[in-house]
Amino acid sequence: MNTKIFITCTLLFLCCTLANAQAGYGATTDSGYGSALLALSSRATKLPLPPAPAPAPEPTPEYVNLTDLLSVAGPFSTFLHYLESTKLIETLQTQANDTEEGITLFVPKDTAFSNLKKPSLSNLTSDQLKQLCLFHALPHYYSLSDFKNLSGSGPINTLAGGTYTLNFTDDSGTIHIGSGWTNTLVSSSVHAKDPVAIYQVNKVLLPEAIFGTDIPPPAPAPAPVAVPDVAPVADGPDADGGKGKGKGKGVGSDTAARSSTPSSSYRITGWMRVVMVVVCSGLVLVL
């Protein structure tokens, strides 16, 4: 009896021990998993986020070389020579490519300079020549359609500054430019792509700030050439006595035909002479 009780107690002790051991192992395992998850989550929060993709860069405007453009187009060699001799080509190049406003340039042809007699540009000082060149440039890019908004809006400032201004008029798409001394128009577009516009003009733009306000009146229009009146040829016998009759048809032959046929008055005069001769002969015989 005592042996059975001892065995039963021993089995119960072993079962309790195993149960407690399993419970402790499970708790240890669960706590280990939880600690690992907490460690991983803390590390994940500390990791830096990947950087956002940078926006695509805006396209760089095309560099415009004014010297190359004016050398190829034109002929604009005279105006380009003035820009290079006054060192203004660098100023215009900077305005064209290194500013947000851009530039609009009016370039006279070589014939515009050769046809300019008065006033002469040979007597200008170096500063006046620079101002004259800058007078042909606007400190902003204007397309041809933009001049419609400038038409009649008043004087527009040029790169020469101050009182060096131009007036623009849009006449059904034709751009007229006035400077006091000069009235001309844009004859063609050499280059028109933002930020650079280059337009050809037929005359040199002359500012009043250099040449004064005593502007000569425009030359009068040439008088119409008088056409002399040609008197009609009178009917009469031909100068060659009718020898040209039959040489051809037309006015000459008709005139010759009319001159060869005696008129009615000429025939009456002839008959009167015959009658008078007969009468006179009869009187002589009677007497």
8 A C-beta contact, residue 103 and residue 66: no
Share of the chain above pLDDT 90, in %: 44
The whole-number pLDDT of residue 95 equals: 96
Given a cut of 50, whether residue 26 has pLDDT beyond it is no
Per DSSP, the three-state class of 107 is strand
The single-letter code of the amino acid at 125 is: T
SS3 79: helix
Whether the CB-CB separation of 107 and 201 falls below 8 Å is answered with yes
Rounded-to-integer distance, Cα 94 and Cα 15, Å: 97
57: left (phi over 0), alpha (psi -120 to 50) or beta: beta
Rounding to the nearest 10 degrees, give the CA dihedral for residues 269, 274, 278, 279.
Answer: 0
Residue pair 92/106 in contact by the 8 Å Cβ criterion: no
| Rounded distance between C-alpha atoms, residue 244 and residue 66, angstroms | 76
- More confident of the two residues 285 and 51: 51
Give the three-state DSSP class for 156.
Answer: strand
As given in the structure block, the two tokens for residue 83 are: 């820009």
pTM of the model: 0.58
What count of other Cβ atoms lies within 10 Å of the Cβ of residue 155? 13
pLDDT the model gives residue 51: 75
Read off the pLDDT band of 280 (50, 70, 90).
low
What mean pLDDT is reported for the chain? 76
CA distance 36 to 277: 170
**Which residue in 140, 143, 133 sits closest to 164, CA to CA?**
133
Radius of gyration of the chain from Cα atoms? 56
First-last CA distance in the chain: 233
Higher pLDDT, 9 or 52: 52
Residue 80 burial (CB count, 10 A): 19
267-278 confidence digits (pLDDT tens): 555 656 655 665
Find the largest Cα–Cα distance for the chain.
233
What digits encode the pLDDT tens for the residues 211-267? Answer: 887 666 655 555 666 656 555 555 555 545 444 444 444 444 454 444 444 555 545
List Cβ neighbours of 199 (8 Å cut-off, separation of 6 or more). 104, 105, 106, 107, 175, 186, 188, 189, 190, 192
Q: For residue 91, which phi and psi values (nearest 5 degrees)? A: -65, -45
Q: What is the pLDDT, as a whole number, of residue 187?
A: 94
Q: What is the mean pLDDT of residues 101-125?
A: 93
Q: Which residues contact 174 (CB under 8 A, 6 or more apart)?
A: 185, 186
Q: Name the amino acid, one letter, at 252.
A: G
- pLDDT reported for residue 49: 65
The kind and range of the H/E element at 108 are strand 103-108
Average pLDDT over residues 14-32: 52
Give yes or no for residue 25 having a pLDDT over 70. no
